[in-house]
Amino acid sequence: MDDDINLLGGWPSPFVNRVQIALNLKSISYEFLEENFDAKSELLLKSNPVYKKIPVFIHGDKPICESLIIVQCIDELWSSGPSILPLDPHDRAVARFWAAYIDDKWSPLLRDLRTAQGEEEKLATVDKMVEGLVLLEEVYIKCSKNKGFFGGDSIGYLDIALGCFLGWLRVAEKLVHVKLLDETKTPGLVGWAERFCSDDAVKNVIPETQKLLEFAKMIVFRAKAQSPN
């Protein structure tokens, strides 16, 4: 089943990193096809004609889009490997709910922080980010059941959903000179983040902070150059 597996993506994308981590957890070999952010490939446009964005997971000649959907599909296709989604139906539903919260409510704040104008707007965004992390700290305590990960003893669905953003979280901390994950407010997540990033399935996937920071500065520079103001 491991034949003809391709992943269309880009190294800075946390959503692409999600899929890479899931594939690593299942010990699946695949070919990574790096997309050019300035010129989308024909394969990408053909494989994801609706949203025209990465990641796209291609198994054989069948493309699958959207990172969380891809992770779920990988878990179902390679069921003999370690389970990513919780086996209990209630726990599975809870994990999906909070993964949706991360994508819909929390992670967009990382982008908002990069584009914030002035200190007041930046600080307001930081407050919202910390508020969300405090909430996720409570979720971690409940879901982990006194174990190392949201998924229990090992990395699971919710770990991947949040953990893929840890590189960009570190970039955000450097941009605003504020510790967003700290021992005072989110001690559980601080330990979790260290365990997550040191796992074999993760440590070569999450980009280095300095490399991401340079990429973020380039994005901001380009946005300002294209702005009519």
For the chain, list the domains and their CATH numbers: 5-77 (3.40.30.10), 89-218 (1.20.1050.10)
Q: Band of the pLDDT at 227, cuts 50, 70, 90?
A: low
Residues 6+ apart with CB under 8 A from 91: 143
The pLDDT score that the predictor gives to residue 139 is 98
Look-up of token digits 């992390």: 133
Q: Which pLDDT score, from 0 to 100, does residue 136 have?
A: 98
Average pLDDT value for the chain: 94
CA–chain centroid gap for 217, Å, is: 20
Q: Alpha helices of 102-208 — where are they, by DSSP H?
A: 108-115, 118-144, 157-163, 166-176, 187-198
Please name the residues in contact with 60: beta carbons below 8 A apart, sequence gap of 6 or more: 3, 4
Spell out the alpha helix ranges (H) of 26-107.
Answer: 42-47, 67-77, 89-101
| pLDDT per residue as tens digits for the range 52-110 | 999 999 999 999 999 999 999 999 999 988 999 999 999 999 999 999 999 999 999 99
pLDDT digits 0-9 by tens, 140-154: 999 999 999 999 999
**Six-digit token pair at 55?**
């990641």
Of the ranges 17-21, 177-181, 208-212, 222-226, which one carries the lowest mean pLDDT score?
222-226
In angstroms, the CA 56 to CA 35 distance is 10
Whether 145 and 152 have beta carbons less than 8 Å apart is answered as: yes
What global pTM score does this model have?
0.95
> How far, in whole angstroms, is CA 79 from its chain's centroid?
22
